[in-house]
Amino acid sequence: KAGVTQTPRYLIKTRGQQVTLSCSPISGHRSVSWYQQTPGQGLQFLFEYFSETQRNKGNFPGRFSGRQFSNSRSEMNVSTLELGDSALYLCASSLEGLANEQFFGPGTRLTVL
Amino acid sequence: LAKTTQPISMDSYEGQEVNITCSHNNIATNDYITWYQQFPSQGPRFIIQGYKTKVTNEVASLFIPADRKSSTLSLPRVSLSDTAVYYCLVGDKGRGSTLGRLYFGRGTQLTVWP
């Protein structure tokens, strides 16, 4: 069974731009969650989607948004990029939600210049 | 909403047992405790999950006292390949209009020496 895939793996943007990251969950998994990882703040939960609806949300500004498609694939968008948005963005999928074992993808390394 | 506190780093030698403790004083009745392992440049990997008392699987044990305000991940006979960051996570599922959140601890960097 294929694991969680994320595209692109690396991305370089400049301040003020926007970016869209993609995540394909493990087949059969309906929950997709997103995380931001930085050296200073560690691993922080962004949000979770289930059946195309945002079900849980962390403490991030509205510039961070996401969506989930009917095939459970998910995208995360960050608008008006700031230098502090440079991070590793991880996506995880699970069968039913945050209570289940999360399977993480390799992440997308975003650098904002 | 429960948050966690765990040591920033720990050192051990091959063959020793390692115990990493996580504090979660505000854990709620229906919260569960989960531990993940992360190697550099990889996403975290699930190790073990529990609600109370003791849980054991092929790689680790999780000890949770009766008050559930802390938990201890026990790694028996560690090897060099166990060098990684270990995250303690306490999460609720959220009900109705309450949004559940998944909080990771800051992680514990475990370094195993030969």
Residue B62 distance to chain A (closest CA, Å): 15
pLDDT of residue B95 exceeding 70: no
Secondary structure of residue B65 in the 3-state scheme: coil
pLDDT of residue B77 exceeding 60: yes
Residue B70 distance to chain A (closest CA, Å): 19
pLDDT of residue B27 exceeding 60: yes
State both tokens at A80. 């008006």
Is B43 in Cβ contact with A104 (below 8 Å)?
yes
pLDDT of residue A27: 95
pLDDT of residue B14 exceeding 90: yes
State both tokens at A107. 């992440």
In whole angstroms, how far apart are CA B54 and each of A75, A83, B20, B48, B63?
Answer: 38, 44, 15, 11, 5
Is A42 in Cβ contact with B106 (below 8 Å)?
yes
pLDDT of residue B93: 55
Q: How many whole angstroms from its chain centre is CA B93?
A: 18
pLDDT of residue B105: 67
Mean pLDDT of chain B: 87
| CB proximity list for B29: less than 8 A, separation 6 or greater | none
Q: Which residues pair with B104 in a beta bridge?
A: B89
Model confidence pLDDT, tens digit, residues B53-76: 999 999 999 999 999 999 999 999
Residue B13 distance to chain A (closest CA, Å): 26
Do residues B90 and B50 touch, judged by C-beta distance below 8 A? no
Q: Which of B59, B45, B40 is nearest to B89 (CA)?
A: B45
Q: Report the distance separating Cα B22 and Cα B70, nearest Å.
A: 5
Write a three-state SS string for chain A. Answer: CCCCEEECCEEEECCCCCEEEEEECCCCCCEEEEEEEECCCEEEEEEEEECCEEEEECCCCCCEEEEECCCCCEEEEECCCCHHHCEEEEEEEECCCCCCCCEECCCEEEEEC
Let me know how many helices (H) and strands (E) chain B has, helices first: 0, 10
pLDDT of residue B106: 76
Q: Which of A29, A98, A3 is nearest to A58 (CA)?
A: A98
Q: Which residues of chain A have pLDDT under 50?
A: none
pLDDT of residue B99: 43
Do residues A102 and A94 touch, judged by C-beta distance below 8 A? yes
Minimal-distance CA residue of chain B relative to A37: B43
Is B102 in Cβ contact with A98 (below 8 Å)?
yes
**Candidate from A4, A92, A97 with C-beta closest to B93:** A97
**Chain B neighbors of A103, CB-CB under 8 A:** 46
Q: Report the distance separating Cα A45 and Cα A10, nearest Å.
A: 20
